Amino acid sequence: MPQPPSIVWLRDDLRVADNPALLAAAEREAPVVVLYLLDEESTGVRPLGGASRWWLHHSLAALQSSLDELGARLTLRRGSARDVLPALVQEVGADAVFWNRRYSAAREVDAELKTQLRDDGVEVRSFAAAVLYEPWTLTTGAGDPYKVFTPFWKAALASEEPREPLPPPTSLDGHRAESERLDDWSLLPIRPDWAEGLRETWSPGERGAHERLEEFVEEGLSLYHRRDEPGIEATSRLSPHLHFGEISPHQIRHRVQQGISPAAARNRAKFLSEIGWREFSVNILFHWPDLATVNYRREFDAFPWGEPDPDQLAAWREGRTGIPIVDAGMRELWVTGWMHNRVRMIVASFLTKNLLVDWRTGEEWFWDTLVDADPANNAASWQWVAGSGADAAPYFRVFNPLLQAERFDPDQEYIRRWVPEVGTAEYPEPIVDLKSSRDEALAAYEAVKAAKA
């Protein structure tokens, strides 16, 4: 009798190399169903924003090509995982299901399914694939999760060395299962087609991820000490590839530790610490799963963020605030689906502190427009800037966008790239006075701090 097939359930791990779940299924030497399930219904699963849906379409198409080369096909299904996965197990007669772990509130769905399927006699195994250090492996001396990055990363570096990347399967015995059509999911924009800039900027998929990594190692890593300057190509731009799992942190870590120039080697530790910030955000989300909707520091429930002025909010979203570096960042975001990290902090500070708009409003806009909109990074970063997040000094950090531009874009190379009309009569006056709005924000933060004391 033929051996029953295994199911590999892919989520944010759209790659064939360094994919423990896929490799484990291949090693069983049984037929394999590779499943991607578009679940926008389950508890703890946040439906993707528009830019991420565009990326997902192209990433899945690239993954199908990679699976074709190995002898398998990608099975696409849509619906609630609680319904779809058990139904597929019955449909194909699978006796094993493998997946790589996720760390958001959606893990409750995984736990339920693991129990249910095992009770039905199905082998279920999950693996670590998305992070270097799983959240429960790093705790304080008291056994609590870390709440500040620096001690978290020191503990990580002092812990057991992360594993080396795993090879891809040499081949797969693909089991044919009925699949939905990717085009029927309507992930791509049609009218209007706002994705031209995304197409010009990105190459979604595993191959594109590794090409981006090589380009960074060869050209960008030696400049990484200038990573805060948005006018130069000194950052990796690997964040969307990491979010969709087209490349793993193990692969990135392994690559930057070998075969790089002395100039690049000098920046290696700092670059890896930025990968560490991603790890820290996952750690925070794991322990505080409502990070995108609830203040991490609950004293900020009393912060007087008001209803946003519709005109001011539209000006911020569209890059018409009259503050050049803010407008440059928001236009870069709209065109490319990405924004330089330093500029992300500046535009977030402007919204939450100069305009006193609730950080959740900005977080939702980024969720819809970023190709790297990640449940952990996006929410943790917005809360950090707002002061309500995991930060050792949360109360009085207000970015001055003019001083930030002078320091990090002194020749206005970045600003003029995105706001060519700056300095002309066409450019608007600032929508808010920076000094008075800063004073108002500091007074509000002082009140929150005093109330906590």
Indicate the average pLDDT of the chain: 96
Tokens of residue 385, six digits: 């800037």
Q: Give the residue-averaged pLDDT of 91-101.
A: 98
Superfamily of domain 298-452: DNA Cyclobutane Dipyrimidine Photolyase, subunit A, domain 3 (1.10.579.10)
Q: Give the residue-averaged pLDDT of 427-435.
A: 97
Q: What is the pLDDT of residues 148-176, one digit of tens each?
A: 999 999 999 999 999 999 999 999 999 99
- pLDDT band at residue 395 under the 50/70/90 scheme: low
Q: Would residue 365 show up in a list of annotated catalytic residues for this protein?
A: no
- pLDDT band at residue 396 under the 50/70/90 scheme: low
Q: What is the pLDDT of residues 99-131, one digit of tens each?
A: 999 999 999 999 999 999 999 999 999 999 999
Structural contact between residues 239 and 377, judged by C-beta atoms closer than 8 angstroms = yes
Does residue 192 have a cis peptide bond before it, meaning omega lies within 30 degrees of 0?
Answer: yes
Q: Would residue 359 show up in a list of annotated catalytic residues for this protein?
A: yes
Q: State residue 392's pLDDT score.
A: 67
Q: Which of 274, 299, 364, 440 is catalytic?
A: 274
Q: Give the residue-averaged pLDDT of 242-257.
A: 98
| CATH number of the domain located at residue range(s) 131-162+196-287 in this protein | 1.25.40.80
Q: Where are the beta strands (DSSP E) in 79-202?
A: 96-100, 123-127
Per-residue pLDDT for 318 more than 80? yes
Q: What is the pLDDT of residues 265-313, one digit of tens each?
A: 999 999 999 999 999 999 999 999 999 999 999 999 999 998 899 999 9
Task: Give the side-chain half-sphere CA count within 13 A for 451.
Answer: 15
Q: Which of 112, 215, 233, 277 is catalytic?
A: 277
Q: State residue 295's pLDDT score.
A: 96
Q: What is the pTM of this model?
A: 0.96
Q: Which of 112, 134, 180, 341 is catalytic?
A: 341
Q: State residue 1's pLDDT score.
A: 61
Q: Would residue 305 show up in a list of annotated catalytic residues for this protein?
A: yes
Top pLDDT among 350 and 452 is at 350
Distance CA 5, CA 73 (A): 13
- pLDDT band at residue 2 under the 50/70/90 scheme: confident
Q: Would residue 334 show up in a list of annotated catalytic residues for this protein?
A: no
Run of H or E including 7: strand 6-10
Query: Where exactly are the structural domains of the chain?
Result: 6-130, 131-162+196-287, 298-452
Q: Which of 99, 316, 338, 359 is catalytic?
A: 359
Distance CA 96, CA 84 (A): 15
Q: Give the residue-averaged pLDDT of 4-23.
A: 98
Q: State residue 447's pLDDT score.
A: 86
How remote is the C-alpha of 184 from its chain's centroid?
25
Q: State residue 166's pLDDT score.
A: 98
Fold of the domain built from segment(s) 6-130: Rossmann fold (3.40.50)
Q: Would residue 354 show up in a list of annotated catalytic residues for this protein?
A: no
Backbone φ, ψ for residue 10 (5° rounding): -90, 145
Q: State residue 452's pLDDT score.
A: 76
Give how far Cα 142 sits from Cα of 84, 88, 284, Å: 41, 44, 17
Q: What is the pLDDT of residues 195-246, one digit of tens each?
A: 999 999 999 999 999 999 999 999 999 999 999 999 999 999 999 999 999 9
Q: Would residue 295 show up in a list of annotated catalytic residues for this protein?
A: no
